[in-house]
């Protein structure tokens, strides 16, 4: 019994010594690297935070989760935003314009990877000769797009609203955390889409769940440095932690359909022209038939009396005619066809203009 107690005591002392040694090593590491000794940041949660990862261009919004920052200007970079996170159509920060056309959507509408004047809302403005206000932001689901439209309409007072949906955006309706940021979401109750999750918290205020190991060791700057040195960063900052899905995929499409009711209400209440534009990624256009999550939303929009256009067949016609021309519609992003190129954005602007605005 004495030997057993002695062993337990020895193990206890060893554990205490080990913990104190690790704490001492951590404090020494922080001192050497100029990190505040009392910092309580969890580095894993920081890395998973969409706001911190995009702090230069993105701002928190309690209704939307995130949007573009106000009044950002990248000199000679072809990127500028104005009030309420609206992207400019040229590289000049201007006051928020009113009237004309309001466009909302995700990164395909915001113009990811292209200059201000190359995004399709800017190209459409050049064609129609009236203001086109670009209120889009990357990673939006259809749910956030509709809320963004409702947010901007009183300030912009447009005559036309264009909702630019990438087909897969309906699937984003199923998430409460997307890309490392909390977002609003809808549930279906009594046959209606009911808004939940607002006001949307910051990750700082409501940390993303990362598990017990990352919760404890994520506070260690020394462990973080060791993880990076060993090349284990991709495992440590597990990308799957940045997403939390609560609905099956099909429910997201059902929610998009129900959200067309909100657009129909806006059309009626504000005497507003509403156009729904459905877009797709290059790989989705190459596949046949059109992805299952796109056409049903267009059908729902038309059933509600909204104007709607599905770009699948027009873009696929380019593919059938000339693959080289088709490839030129997209940006080369790491060897894959990604966002719309300047030519791809011009294609979407031309499609909208010829279908709805040409006299």
Q: In the chain, where are the structural domains located?
A: 1-35, 50-201+244-357
- pTM score of the predicted model: 0.89
Helical H segments across the chain, by residue range: 2-33, 43-47, 50-53, 107-110, 120-128, 142-156, 169-172, 211-217, 221-229, 233-236, 249-269, 282-286, 295-303, 312-321, 323-327, 342-352
Pick from 58, 278, 63, 265: nearest CA to 162? 278
Can you give the pLDDT at residue 271?
A: 95
The sign one gets for the Cα dihedral 298, 300, 304, 305 is positive
Quickly state the pLDDT bin for 167 (edges 50, 70, 90): very high
Rounded to an integer, what is the distance from CA 293 to the centroid of its chain?
18
Residues written for the chain = 359
Can you give the pLDDT at residue 239?
A: 74
> Other CB atoms closer than 10 Å to residue 44's CB: what's the count?
25
The predicted model gives 33-50 an average pLDDT of 70
Residue 1: pLDDT above 60? no
Residue 333 Cα distances to 79, 242, 282, angstroms: 19, 21, 12
- In this structure, what DSSP letter does residue 87 have? B
CATH assignment of 50-201+244-357, given 3.20.20.80, 3.40.50.1110, 3.50.50.100, 3.40.50.150?
A: 3.40.50.1110
Is residue 244 packed enough to be buried (19+ CB in 10 Å), middle (13-18) or exposed (0-12)?
Answer: middle
Q: Which residues contact 279 (CB under 8 A, 6 or more apart)?
A: 108, 164, 165, 166, 167, 311, 340, 348
Can you give the pLDDT at residue 34?
A: 63
Please state which of the ranges 23-32, 129-138, 334-343 shows the lowest mean pLDDT.
23-32
Quickly state the pLDDT bin for 192 (edges 50, 70, 90): very high
Residue 306: pLDDT above 90? yes
Record the tokens describing residue 162, joined without a space.
Answer: 């264009």
Share of residues in the chain with pLDDT > 70 (%): 89
């Amino acid at each position: 019994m004495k030997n057993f107690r002695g062993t337990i005591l020895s193990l206890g002392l060893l554990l205490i010594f080990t913990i104190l040694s690790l704490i001492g090593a951590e404090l020494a590491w922080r001192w050497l690297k100029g990190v505040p000794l009392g910092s309580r940041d969890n580095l894993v949660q920081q890395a998973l935070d969409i706001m911190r990862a995009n702090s230069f261009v993105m701002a928190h919004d309690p209704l939307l989760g995130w949007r573009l920052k106000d009044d950002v200007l990248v000199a000679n970079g072809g990127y500028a935003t104005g009030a309420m996170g609206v992207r400019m159509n040229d590289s000049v920060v201007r006051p928020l314009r009113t009237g004309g056309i309001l466009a909302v959507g995700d990164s395909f509408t915001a113009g990811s990877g292209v200059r201000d004047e190359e995004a399709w809302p800017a190209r459409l403005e050049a064609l129609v000769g009236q203001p086109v206000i670009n209120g889009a932001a990357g990673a939006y689901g259809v749910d956030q797009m509709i809320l963004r439209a409702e947010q901007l309409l009183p300030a912009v007072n447009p005559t036309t609203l264009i909702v630019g949906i990438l087909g897969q955006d309906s699937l984003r309706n199923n998430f409460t955390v997307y890309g490392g940021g909390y977002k609003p979401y809808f549930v279906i109750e009594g046959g209606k889409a009911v808004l939940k999750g607002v006001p949307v918290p910051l990750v700082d205020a409501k940390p993303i769940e990362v598990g017990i190991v990352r919760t404890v060791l994520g506070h260690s700057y020394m462990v973080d440095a060791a993880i990076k040195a060993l090349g284990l960063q991709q495992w440590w900052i597990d990308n799957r932690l940045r997403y939390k899905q609560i609905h099956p995929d099909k429910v997201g499409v059902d929610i998009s359909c129900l959200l067309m009711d909100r657009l129909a209400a806006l059309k009626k209440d504000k005497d507003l022209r509403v156009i729904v534009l459905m877009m797709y990624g290059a790989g989705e256009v190459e596949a046949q038939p059109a992805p299952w999550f796109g056409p049903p939303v267009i059908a729902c929009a038309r059933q509600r009396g909204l104007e709607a256009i599905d770009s699948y067949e027009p873009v696929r016609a380019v593919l059938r005619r000339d693959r080289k021309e088709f490839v030129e519609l997209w940006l080369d992003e790491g060897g894959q066809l990604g966002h719309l190129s300047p030519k791809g954005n011009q294609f979407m602007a031309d499609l909208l203009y010829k279908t709805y605005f040409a006299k």
